[in-house]
Amino acid sequence: MSTFVKICGLSTAADVDAAIAAGADAIGFVFAESPRRVSVEQAVALTRGLPASIVRVAVMRHPTQREWDEVATEFRPDWLQTDVADIDGLVAPHGVHCMPVYRDTPELDIDAAGRKPRILFEAANSGAGQRPDWDTAAKLAARTKLMLAGGLDADNVVDAIARVCPWGVDVSSGVESRRGVKDPNKIAAFVNAVRTLET
């Protein structure tokens, strides 16, 4: 089975081109506080002419309804990715899929997370290269479609997939030359590493 690959935190046309050329399934744009943050206008411009097969993800954290409405109306993402508690309080337009984020914290409710049709699991802090516990991730992946994020790169993603058996993988800092700056060679190496498992 093919592993879904998302490259997150893109902020330039070169980033988008590199992710598409590498064969990513989805690209993420961060609208939360981050060195990778983009404006709605930037995200619209960066995805103009994007192939329909590429999933466009709005990555947010604790947005107000007004903030989400602006992103939803102007950017028109395919998915909204934000903490599960945020999603429960937002009204999402018809056709936008929600990717609830669960974090590797003592408060994690594995049973509740496992009842969701699809989730993203990461460490307590987003975009910092921190790895969540893979044993916990494997337990979740056995119950739901899990996208594994946090601390992944081309060197460890094959091991991560073997141990966790996730539906998908998500990378941001692991394909950067420095914080917030994507490296096209690292993007290609990451996707290639994942695809070697499918041949």
CATH code: domain of residue 131: 3.20.20.70
Range of the domain at 74: 4-198
What is the per-residue pLDDT for 127?
62
Q: String of b and e for 26-63 (b: at least 16 CB within 10 Å)?
A: bbbbbbbebebebebebbeebbeeeeeebbbbbbbbeb
C-alpha R_g of the chain: 16
CA distance 76 to 72: 5
Structural domain tally of the chain? 1
Enumerate residue ranges in the chain where pLDDT < 50: none
CB neighbours of 36 closer than 8 A, spacing ≥ 6? 8, 9, 10, 11, 30, 127, 172, 180
Entry pTM = 0.94
Residue 199: the pLDDT is 63
**pLDDT value, residue 129:** 72
